[in-house]
Each structure stands twice: as C-alpha cells, then as structure tokens.
Chains A and B, each alone.
Chain A
Amino acid sequence: MVRSEEDQESCRKEALHLLGSPTQLSSLDPGPTVLVPARWGFSISTRSIVIVAALVLGAGCGPSANRYLLIEASLRAHDAKGADAIVQQAEKEYGDKSRVLYGMDRGMTLQLAGDYQQSNAVLEQAEDEVDRLYTRKIRTETLAFMTSDTALPYEGDPYEQVMINVLKALNYAVLGQWQDALVEVRRIDHRLNVLSDRTKEKNAYRDDGFARYLSGILYESTGDVNNAFIAYRNAYEIFDGSRSWSHTGVPSQLRTDLLRTAEAMHLTQEFTEYQRLFPETRWESSQTLQQLAHVVVISYNGRAPHKEDQFLDLPISLDALQLVLLNRGFSQASGHSNRPVDTVLYGLNGRVVRVALPQLIRQKTQVPLDTVNLVSDNGSRATMNTELVQNVTALADKALSERMAGITVKALARAATKFALAEGATRGAQQAAGKDAAPWVGLLVGMVTKGLAVASEEADKRSWQTLPDEIHLARAWVPPGHYQVQGRQVGGPQDPLKPETLRTISLGAGETAILIQRVMP
C-alpha cells in the first residue's frame, strides 16, 4: 500500500513535470502520454483528460486572441467599419461575463468607424454594467475561486472605466452636443473623485491627467473658462506628480493653456506663479483666440498591451510562502492570518502546485509623433504636432502591478484548494473501491481530478485591447474658413496601405472641431 502510494506520487510528479513546462502552455495544448507502471496491466493517456478538461473549462479563450488579430488587421488596413463588424459578430463569444469588455471594445471601434451615436449607446451600457458590478455576487466569486478568475464578470480597471467616459465625451463633442459632452466631463470628475477617495496610496492610479486635460479643453470650448482653468490645473498637478510611473510628461500645450486661462480669469497670483514656472512658454490671450477657430487632434497610436498566462509551478512550503508574502508586504497589510488558507497550505506542505498569473505583453508603438496639416483654401498651411498625453501601456502596467499581490495570493489559495479537493477525491475513491482495486482507482481519480485542477488554472487575461498604446493630442487656433486635413506620421514605418486621408472641415470663429485618428502600429 505504501509502495503504491509512492508510485502514484512519482507518477504525478512526472505528469506535472511534463505538463508544467515554464513557457506558457495553452490549455488546449494536449499533454503527453504518461504510462502507468506496467505492473497494473493498463496504460492511460493524460491527453484525453487534458483535452476533455480543456473543452469544458477553456471554451472561449482560444478565439479571443484571433479576434484581436483580425481587428488589428482591419485597423491597419484603415477599415474601422470592418473592425467593428468583427467585434459585433463576436458578441456571443464575449459572453455574459464580459459585457463591459464588449461595450468597451465596440465603443472604440464604432468611434473609429465614425458612428458616434451608436458608440455612445454601447459605452453607456458598459458604464451601467460597471455600476451594477459594484455589487459582487458571492456565488460567482466562489465559482471563480474554484475554477479561475475568468469566471468573474469583467468590470475593467479604473483607468479603463475612466476611458469609457473619455470616449463618450469625445463622441458627444464630435457630434456637436456640447452639453452632453460636459455631462461626461462631470462624470469623469465624479468617477475620479470617488477613485481618489478610495485609493489611499499616494503613488497609485488615483487621478487621470489626460481625462482632466480633455475636460478642460471641452470646458474651454464651451466658454466655461473658470472650470477649464480648474481642470487644467488639476491635469498639470497629476501629470507632474505621476510622471515617474506614467511615463507622460506635462504636455507643453498645457502650459500655454494654464497661462491663457489664468490670465483670462484675472487670477493674478496663479498667473505670476505659472509665468515663473514656465518662463519660456509663449502664449496668446483668450481675446485673440476668440476670433479664431479651434482644432483639436486626438491621435490613438498603436495597440494596447495584452495579457498572457504565466504558469508557475510552486512547491508548497510554508516557510517559502511566508517569505514571499512578507516580501510583498502582504502579511502586514492583512494583519491577522487567514486561517482556512493556512490550514489548506499546511495539509499540502511539500507538494507542488501550479498557478497561472497574468503577464502584460507590451506592444509599443513605433510612431513617436504625428503631424497634422491644415491647408486652407488660399493655400496657407498650419502644422500641428501632437504630444503624448496618455500612455495606456503604463496605466495597464500600473493597474496590473497594483493588483498582482492580491491575484497571486488568490491564485495560490485556489491552487492549494484544488489540490486538496483532488487529494480528497483520490482518498475517497480509494476507500470506495475496496482493498484490492484501491491503488489504481486512486491513481486514476487522482489523475483526472488533478488534471482538471491544472487545466482549469487560467489567469484573467481580459483587458480593453482596442485601446491604443498611446494617446496623442494637439490643439491649434486657425482663422475661420475651409481646411483640408492631412495627417502624417513622423519616424514611423511608411504605410503603403494608407489612403490619402483627406478630410475637409469648415470652421467659424469660436467654433471647435475635434479630429480623431487611429495610427497603427
């Protein structure tokens, strides 16, 4: 009896070893065949177990990668409508748990396709869903604990939730519905206020420079200079305070905006302070600009990062685990020890568990700068150079690293529980099978349940992937009239597919036009 358990143990280790190569292993990847010692007179293939488990648990995770590749290909070919059709057709694949993600992905592709109203409709649904998901369902949480985080409804990272409102504000502004755009601006403000109240840590994502800056631009476009100044000031402080991790400096345009609005509001003290801070900055007064038309270029450059599984086979040793948790500062944060988890961990001391953690794969854009030319009817030309205002990859990085400690602990506890259950099932089956058959029944059940435990282990790799890698912005004031808009990317690879992106806009004095473009890769 003792010997057979030893055999079992070595067999399991072998299976784990073979399954658990350190490179990522998709759950659809069939495992190799493992032979049970011939003494028992039969052999079993783990392949079938893994395939069955993969079909049951991994359903739906395969196509998502393809979906984003197709969307990307369409965007590269400047076929935003095609990209939108791909998202729309995949609505069922997203499933009930990813309603928010569907709304986000589709809201972006619809905006790029120029269907701003529909984009707002789906984004509004996504926002409502985010509100609903504030209330967590214990049932779902438990299920997710037993299987994987992908069973949880996706509510988006805080920066993604803010981007929902940012996109809506832009949609309304492009449609000329300025009052509605300002409603979104107020929602951004409220969302960020709640977020910063909730986030205690100073160096975390608790406010959004770009969202604040855009709010200021929209306020100023509607003539509300006072609110615009406040938004610009907030944006400046956030850009300045978070540059260490956001990799986004204070846009030089924002400096001129601060000086202009401070002067227009007759805020002498603030004005002199900003003049002292930016002595080099040249700016024009509000009165001068009132006679001109205002053009804002928003450029979405590149692709947002995606997430992949990172599998770790960890020996369960309490000492090592404590050390890891201590290093991460988790033990102190939680205070009292988590008894149920500890018990499970003690029971499994000395075994190996597999955990899947999400890993961010960056896809940096190769376009450092966009240039947009406005050519007027009489041939005069205004050149606008965009500046980085939002580094989405940095935000995703920050969001994931903030959640990583929690994800890791949860994944470890989950893996341990799964193995404890598998162990329990094995022992139970052995007893039920009676004395003679017990060893091989135990082995069989053990392999099935542990195979399931391994196969169902999957990190939550969902994220808003139709977002760009970086968002760039440029503002200019031009004399009223008709203009042809020509876009050009500096330093990026020449894109032979790019059609002559000629658009014509006509602008009156005091009017604002918002131009949105997507630049790949």
Chain B
Amino acid sequence: MIEMDRGRIGIVALAVLLLAGCGQETKITRVDSGVVTDLSGRWNDTDSRIVAESMVKEALEYPWLNNFSGANHRQPVVVVGTIQNNSHEHINVDTFVADLERELTNSQKVTFVAGKGDREELRTERKEQAMYAREDTQKAPGKEIGADYMMKGTIATILDEAEGTKAVFYQIDLQMVDLESNAKVWFGQKKIKKVVEKKRSIF
C-alpha cells in the first residue's frame, strides 16, 4: 500500500515537473502591421513605416513636382541612388525605399526607373532576348528612359549611453538631385528618438 502511494506521488511529481514550463514555450499572436512593437530598441518595422509615410507626404506636398510637370508637361523620372547607412545598425533601407517608390508611383506623379543593380539584370535579359527570343518580341536596346532626378540619402544615428539607459537618435535624410544641374530640388528629413532603459537586476 505504502509502495503504491509512493509510486503515485512519484508519477504526480514527474508530471508536474514535465508540465511546468511547457505552457508558454512559444506563443504566436497575429497583429496588424500598424501596431507598434518595440522589443529591443533597435531599428524595426515601425521605424521603417514611419519614415516611409512622412517621406511620401513631404515628397508629394512640396512644389518641386508641380514645377517640373508645369515646365515639361510630363511626370519627372526618378532613379534611386545610394542610401548610405551611417548608423550603428545593419539597417535594411530597401523596405522604406520600396514603400516610397510604391506610393509615389501609385500617385501618378512620378515615374521611377530601375536603379543600378536592377539595370544590369534587365540589360542581360535584353541581350539574351536578342539571341534567343522570337524577333517580333525582342526588346531593342537604347530605348531606356533617362532619369531627370536621382534620389539619394543617408541614415545616421547618434548614440548616447550610460548606466543602462541609451538614447538613440536616428536622422534620415533623402534628397532629390537634378541629374543635369546637380541642383537639389527636394529635401526630406525624418528624425526619430528613442530612449531604451535596461534594468541592472531583476528577480
């Protein structure tokens, strides 16, 4: 009898040990992409979205677009140049540049042409078409649209940290440069500041 009791207690104890901690190993919740999720304090999707939104707004608001359309009776053609990462993080700039391109293209006010990296791929494709594709479907070289403006930019951070508290300041600058005259026709700027506090000890 005692033996049986002991065995039962052993099994219960084992079960408790095994179950403890199984409950919350991985938990997944779907959230809207607009929800702010600040986990580590580093550059995240929210930052990228905020930057894209404010840049699109600025780019469409300012008169450079209308000035150009008024003078030339067509949409300006823009190519994306280098967005220099001068920050402390390995930031993927493609996400907000893509957001920006999408918004400006869909607004029907700007035409984007492929940037440097994409162009190589497209040209290779055309060369291969010239060799392998049916003649009436071949795309001829020398018909690319030359861009009027180049969009360039930088992301910089300023960090300050002491005693577990870190202040991170991001400054994102974008500029539209006239490819003929090198004149800068538009400046977009967004600043983000975060304070990350880490506790020295927890229980």
Contact = CB atoms under 8 A, between A and B. Distances in A.
Interface of A: 128, 131, 134-139, 141, 179-180, 182-183, 186-187, 190, 193-194, 197
Given A128-B40, A137-B202, 7 more contacts: A131-B198, A134-B200, A179-B85, A180-B85, A183-B85, A186-B157, A194-B161
Contact of B202 (A135, A186, A194, A197): A135
A182 to B, nearest CB: 8
B19 interface: no
Given A134-B198, A134-B200, A138-B202, A190 B161 contact: yes
A503 to B, nearest CB: 28
Interface of B: 40, 84-90, 157, 159, 161-162, 164, 198-203
B88 A135 contact: no
A96 to B, nearest CB: 13
B203 A183 contact: no
Contacts of A128: 40
Contact of A183 (B90, B198, B201): B90
Please list the 5 inter-chain residue pairs (A to B) with the smallest Cβ-Cβ separation, ordered nearest first: A136-B201, A186-B88, A138-B203, A179-B85, A190-B159
28 contacts: A134-B164, A134-B198, A134-B200, A135-B198, A135-B200, A135-B201, A135-B202, A136-B201, A136-B202, A137-B201, A137-B202, A138-B201, A138-B203, A139-B203, A141-B201, A179-B85, A180-B85, A180-B90, A182-B86, A183-B88, A183-B89, A183-B90, A186-B88, A186-B157, A190-B159, A193-B161, A194-B161, A197-B162
A280 B81 CA distance: 45
Given A134-B164, A197-B162, A190 B88 contact: yes
B26 to A, nearest CB: 17
Given A190-B159, A194-B161, A136 B88 contact: no
Given A183-B85, A183-B87, A194 B162 contact: yes
A135 B87 contact: no
B201 A187 contact: no
Nearest to B161: A194
Contacts of B87: 183, 186
B203 A136 contact: no
Residue among B88, B161, B164 with the most chain A CB within 10 A?
A: B88
B180 to A, nearest CB: 26
Contacts of A179: 84-85
A183 B89 CA distance: 6
A131 B161 CA distance: 13
Contacts of B202: 135-138
A137 B157 CA distance: 31
A356 B84 CA distance: 52
Among A182, A186, A193, the most chain B Cβ lie within 10 Å of the Cβ of A186
A139 B164 CA distance: 20
Contacts of B162: 194, 197
Residue among B40, B90, B201, B203 having the largest count of chain A Cβ atoms under 10 Å: B90
A390 to B, nearest CB: 23
A193 B203 CA distance: 29
Contacts of A135: 164, 198-202
Nearest to A139: B203
A172 to B, nearest CB: 9
A113 to B, nearest CB: 22
Nearest to B159: A190
A194 B196 CA distance: 15
A27 B198 CA distance: 37
A197 B84 CA distance: 29
Nearest to B84: A179
Contacts of A180: 85, 90
Contacts of A187: 88
B44 to A, nearest CB: 14
Contacts of B159: 190
Nearest to A180: B90
A131 B203 CA distance: 18
A16 to B, nearest CB: 35
B163 to A, nearest CB: 8
A179 B161 CA distance: 23
A197 B198 CA distance: 17
A229 B103 CA distance: 42
B92 to A, nearest CB: 11
Contacts of A190: 88, 159, 161
B80 to A, nearest CB: 16
A219 to B, nearest CB: 12
